[in-house]
Amino acid sequence: MADARARGLGRAVIFLGPPGAGKGTQAKQIAKHYGVPHLSTGDMFRELVARDTPLGKRAKPIMDRGDLVPDDIVLEMVAERVSRPDTARGFVLDGFPRTLPQAEKLDEILQARSWGQPLVVHFVVDPGQLVRRLTGRRICSVGGEIYNIYDQPPKVEGRCDNDGGPLIHRADDREEVIVERLAAYQEQTRPLVDYYRSQGVLVDVDGMQPPTTVTAKVLEILERGQETHSSPPESSAAANQVSQRYER
Ligand SMILES: [Zn+2]
């Protein structure tokens, strides 16, 4: 651990995968392990608006309206963020890039800063199982304990085992919201898997395993690979199956 923190990551690492695949949690763990920044789009947006910079001033009204922030603003934001001194030993990007044009621009940004190619960790999930995992989630309104009505139900329906608190189904976890977000991922972001795979910089991770197992796998990948890793397209049958199931 001390070693990892001393070395850092030495490169840009991108966590790629659909919403709900656990990328954010994993990114946080991994960034902490290596002592490098975890750059999530959500955090970057919040900071952008909080800081009274020209870019922040442009972004704020758009975000206040709840509109999608245009690519030029997002890219400028990312370019600025990755040029700060705290990224010198590498960083983890979570939630960016989201589209092919963003990925191409990111390549330019990284090259301009002599980072070379990123390493992309792709969280492979079964969409059906993902929907079940997310729609079944219930959160205790008292203690924040997390249950799943399918896989990890409370002893008494709708009540927390620990404190008897009522369990909440968050609006974000409603099936129609999740299905819509997954469809947007499939259409806009999923093409990045092929983009990075063809460059030989993408590694698949089974995102349906327990979180600690996933963390261990990701660490293994990052430790193995200060050199570049690739899985050739023909060996990605599992990933392709997942995407075909999505498309149906
Ligand atoms: Zn509780």
Give per-residue pLDDT as tens, 1-40: 568 887 888 899 999 999 888 898 899 999 999 999 999 9
Q: What is the pLDDT of residue 116?
A: 87
Judge whether residue 246 has pLDDT over 60: no
Kindly report the average pLDDT of the chain as a whole number.
87
Based on the number of CB atoms within 10 Å of its own CB, is 19 exposed (0-12), middle (13-18) or buried (19 or more)? middle
Over the stretch 181-191, which tens digit does the pLDDT of each residue have? 899 999 999 99
Based on the number of CB atoms within 10 Å of its own CB, is 145 exposed (0-12), middle (13-18) or buried (19 or more)? middle
Active site residues: 23, 98, 137, 170, 181
pLDDT band at 200 (very low <50, low <70, confident <90, very high): very high
How does 65-92 read in b/e, with b if 16+ C-beta sit within 10 Å? eeeeeeeebbbbbbbebbeeeebebbbb
What is the C-alpha separation between 235 and 197, in angstroms, rounded? Answer: 11
Cβ 109 vs Cβ 75: under 8 Å: yes
**Structural domains of the chain ordered from first start:** 2-126+184-247 (3.40.50.300)
Over the stretch 51-92, which tens digit does the pLDDT of each residue have? 888 999 998 898 888 888 889 999 999 999 999 999 999 999
The secondary element (H helix, E strand) that includes residue 122 is strand 119-124
Position 187, amino acid = E
Residue 212 alpha carbon to ligand 1 centre in Å: 23
| Of 224 and 35, more confident | 35
Residue 158 alpha carbon to ligand 1 centre in Å: 11
Residue 155 alpha carbon to ligand 1 centre in Å: 12
The distance between the two most distant Cα atoms of the chain, rounded to a whole number of Å, is 57
Q: What is the pLDDT of residue 1?
A: 54
Residue 167 alpha carbon to ligand 1 centre in Å: 8
Tokens of 21: 């695949």
pTM of the prediction?
0.81
Cβ 157 vs Cβ 164: under 8 Å: no
What is the C-alpha separation between 82 and 86, in angstroms, rounded? Answer: 8
What is the C-alpha separation between 93 and 95, in angstroms, rounded? Answer: 7
Give me the phi and psi of 12, to 5 degrees please.
Answer: -85, 130
β-pairing, 202-206 vs 146-148, is unpaired
How does 99-137 read in b/e, with b if 16+ C-beta sit within 10 Å? beebbebbbebbeeeebeebbbbbbbbbbeebebbbbbb
Position 213, amino acid = T
